[in-house]
């Protein structure tokens, strides 16, 4: 009997200590979770209960040399639905499909989809967005957003470039200066309960977006407009496929105009010209045609400088005093250099002309004729592109710099 009692007591003591140990372990775990891991779990819980919607940042504008805005933002709306908050799904389907001109089937699929937030349509005109907001439908969110807008349409299209669905630059300056133009998106945080329903009293927390920087460029839209008109005229009269005009400020090399016709409409950059048959065209082929249409020949193609280089020859020749504007020349339509007969572009010859007239005529003979000019071109060649033979000659006395090979 006594033995049995002792045994029982032993059992009670063992269980008692076991319980204490278990409580200690649990208590320790609790302290660990509540004190040491508190930050982590608070964050997890917050993420579970907060619903995040992004607020688009206004993209920086692009302004021309006169401060005229040539790439701007238009306020548009993004319409979304939050499944858990929807009370009248049929009415929402009816209103949204009517207002947004979407099929009921399409809207219903999104309204009935179980997700935290479902986008129905973006880039909706602000007027439409306001109209939808006025219905006061529970579970329908109308968020304001920005869309790129180009007030000049197709002017300087290949230079400016355009943006895609997420307002990111696709080509041209829009992509080149993306980093500066894009800004920083903001967020709207709303607190929800376990079922995902927003808690009204909790309110929303907003992190405001930061607008992008404006980009000021040297292009002058007036000059650009004249250059484009001229290029179009030339394209028509010469039946050319493409005509490019570059206008540069001679004082500092700034580009004042860069036209490359045919241009395209920046406000609908994915529309190919009407004359191109797009029906039944493979997606790849279509993309290729678009790339061709967007391509800026002024910076992507090479072109031999040819006569344009005469400006440099003339300017350098005048500055060095090897030729004056009054020097007289005579052009029979060609010039012999060693054993080569170099034609003037006017094969019948420009006849008697002074240096100014020769420059106006872009006369080949005058620009290669005098030994002075020739010598001068040699010097120039050395300064811009070191040619071995010229350098060798240059180490000798100046009077012997007669010809560059
Ligand atoms: Zn000539």
Do 195 and 334 fall within a single domain? no
Q: Does 114 share its domain with 29?
A: no
Mean pLDDT of the chain: 84
Residue 384 has pLDDT above 70, yes or no: no
* pLDDT top residue among 159 and 371: 159
Binning pLDDT at 50, 70 and 90, where does residue 197 land?
low
The pLDDT assigned to 89 comes to 87
pLDDT at res. 170: 92
Cα 144 to middle of ligand 1, angstroms: 65
One domain, residues 100 and 206: yes
Taking residues 94-112, report their average pLDDT: 89
Residue 178 in domain: no
In this prediction, residue 111 carries a pLDDT of 87
The pLDDT value given to residue 374: 53
Domain that holds residue 293: 221-300
What pLDDT does residue 225 have? 97
Distance from the alpha carbon of residue 337 to the mean position of ligand 1, in angstroms: 15
Q: What average pLDDT does the segment 174-185 reach? A: 94
| Same domain, residue pair 293 and 322 | no
Ion ligand 1 nearby residues (CB, 5 A): 331, 344, 350, 363, 365
Residue 159 lies in a domain: no
Band of residue 316 on the pLDDT scale cut at 50, 70, 90: confident
Is 258 domain-assigned? yes
Which pLDDT band, with edges at 50, 70 and 90, does 195 fall under?
Answer: low
Q: 191 versus 75: which is more confidently predicted?
A: 75
- Domain contains 130: yes
In this prediction, residue 394 carries a pLDDT of: 41
136 and 197 within one domain: yes
CATH code, domain carrying 113: 3.90.1310.10
Say whether the peptide bond before residue 170 is cis (omega within 30 degrees of 0). Answer: no
How confident is the model over 46-72, as a mean pLDDT?
A: 85
Mean pLDDT of 195-201: 64
C-alpha–C-alpha distance, residues 220 and 258, integer Å: 10
Q: How much is the pLDDT for 64? A: 95
Q: Are residues 263 and 365 in the same domain?
A: no
| 200, 108: one domain | yes
Handedness of CA 140, 146, 147, 149 (dihedral sign): positive
Ligand 1 centroid to residue 352 C-alpha, Å: 9
Q: Are residues 349 and 389 in the same domain?
A: yes
Supply the pTM of this predicted model. 0.63
230 and 195 within one domain = no
Higher pLDDT, residue 322 or 290: 290
The sign of the CA dihedral 41, 43, 47, 51 is positive
Kindly report, residue by residue over 220-257, the tens digit of the pLDDT.
Answer: 999 999 999 999 999 999 999 999 999 999 899 999 99
**What is the set of active-site residues?**
307
Q: Please tell me the distance between residue 38's alpha carbon and the centre of ligand 1 in angstroms.
A: 88
Distance from Cα 367 to the centre of ligand 1, integer Å: 9
For residue 393, what pLDDT is reported? 42
Q: What is the pLDDT of residue 379?
A: 58
Asked if residue 197 belongs to a domain, the reply is yes
Span 56-85, average pLDDT:
91
Q: Out of 25-34, 195-204, 264-273, 321-330, pick the least confident.
A: 195-204
Same domain, 144 and 197: yes
Examine the domain organization and report whether 389 and 259 are in the same domain.
no
Cα(359) to centroid(ligand 1), Å: 10
**Which carries the bigger pLDDT value, residue 196 or residue 332?**
332
CA of 234 to the centre of ligand 1 (A): 24
Q: How far is the CA of 392 from the centre of ligand 1 (A)?
A: 32
Is residue 210 pLDDT above 90, yes or no?
yes
Structural domains in the chain (count): 4
Residue 401 has pLDDT above 70, yes or no: no
In a domain, 47, yes or no: no
| Last-in-domain residue among 273, 300, 327 | 300
pLDDT in tens, 13-43: 999 999 999 999 999 999 998 888 888 888 8
| HEC assignment per residue over the chain | CHHHHHHHHHHHHHHHHHHHHHHHHHHHHHHHHHHHCHHHHHHHHHHHHEEEEEECCCCCCEECCCCCEEEEEEEEEEEEECHHHCCCHHHHHHHHHHHHCCCHHHHHHHHHCCCCCEEEEEEEEHHHHHHHHHCCCCCEEEEEEEEEECCCCCCCHHHHCCECCCCCECCHHHHHCHHHHCCECEEEEEEECCCCCECHHHCEEEECCECCCCEECCCCHHHHHHHHHHHHHHHHHCCCCCEEEEEECCCCCCEEEEEEECCCCCCCCCCCCCCCCCCCCCHHHHHHHHHHHHCCHHHHCCCCCHHHHHHHHHHHHHHHCCCCCCCEEEECCEEEECCEEEECCCCCCCEEEEHHHHHHHCCHHHHHHCHHHHHHHHHHHHHHCCCHHHHHHHCCCHHHCCCCC
Residue 161 lies in a domain: no
Model confidence at 117: pLDDT above 90:
no
pLDDT band for position 390 (50/70/90)? very low
224: left (phi over 0), alpha (psi -120 to 50) or beta: alpha
d(CA 373, ligand 1 centre) in Å:
16
- For residue 291, report the distance from its CA to the centre of ligand 1, in Å: 41
- Give the pLDDT mean for 375-384: 56
**208/117 same-domain check:** yes
Among 283, 300, 317, identify where a domain stops.
300
Judge whether 227 lies within some domain.
yes
């Amino acid at each position: 009997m006594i033995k049995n009692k002792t045994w029982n007591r032993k059992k009670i003591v063992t269980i008692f200590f076991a319980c204490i140990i278990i409580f200690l372990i649990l208590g320790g775990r609790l302290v660990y979770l509540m004190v040491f891991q508190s930050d982590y779990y608070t964050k997890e819980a917050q993420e579970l209960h907060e619903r995040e919607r992004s607020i688009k940042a206004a993209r920086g504008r692009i302004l021309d040399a006169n401060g005229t805005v040539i790439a701007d933002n238009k306020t548009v709306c993004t319409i979304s639905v939050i499944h858990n908050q929807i009370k009248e799904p049929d009415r929402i389907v009816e209103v949204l499909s009517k207002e947004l001109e979407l099929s009921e089937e399409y809207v219903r699929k999104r309204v009935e989809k179980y997700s935290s937030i479902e986008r129905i349509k973006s880039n909706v005109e602000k007027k439409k967005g306001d109209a939808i907001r006025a219905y006061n439908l529970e579970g329908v969110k109308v968020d304001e957003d920005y869309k790129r807008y180009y007030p000049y349409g197709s002017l300087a299209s290949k230079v400016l470039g355009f943006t895609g669905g997420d307002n990111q630059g696709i080509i041209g300056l829009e992509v080149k200066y993306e980093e500066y133009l894009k800004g920083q998106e903001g967020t709207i945080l709303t607190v929800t309960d376990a079922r995902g329903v927003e808690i009204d009293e909790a309110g929303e927390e907003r992190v405001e977006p930061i607008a992008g920087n404006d980009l000021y460029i040297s292009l002058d839209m007036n000059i650009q407009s004249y250059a484009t008109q001229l290029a179009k005229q030339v394209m028509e009269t010469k039946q050319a496929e493409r005509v490019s005009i570059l206008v540069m400020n001679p004082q500092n090399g700034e580009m004042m105009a860069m036209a490359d016709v045919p241009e395209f409409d920046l406000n609908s950059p994915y529309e190919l010209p009407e004359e191109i048959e797009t029906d039944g065209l493979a997606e790849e082929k279509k993309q290729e045609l678009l790339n061709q249409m967007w391509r800026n020949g002024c910076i992507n193609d090479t072109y031999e400088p040819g006569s344009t280089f005469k400006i440099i020859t003339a300017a350098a020749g005048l500055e060095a005093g090897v030729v004056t504007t009054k020097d007289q020349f005579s052009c029979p339509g060609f010039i012999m250099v060693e054993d080569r007969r170099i034609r003037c572009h006017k094969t019948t010859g420009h006849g008697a002309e002074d240096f100014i007239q020769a420059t106006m005529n872009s006369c080949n003979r005058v620009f290669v004729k005098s030994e002075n000019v020739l010598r001068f071109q040699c010097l120039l060649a050395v300064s811009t592109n070191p040619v071995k033979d010229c350098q060798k000659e240059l180490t000798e006395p100046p009077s012997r710099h007669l010809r560059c090979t």
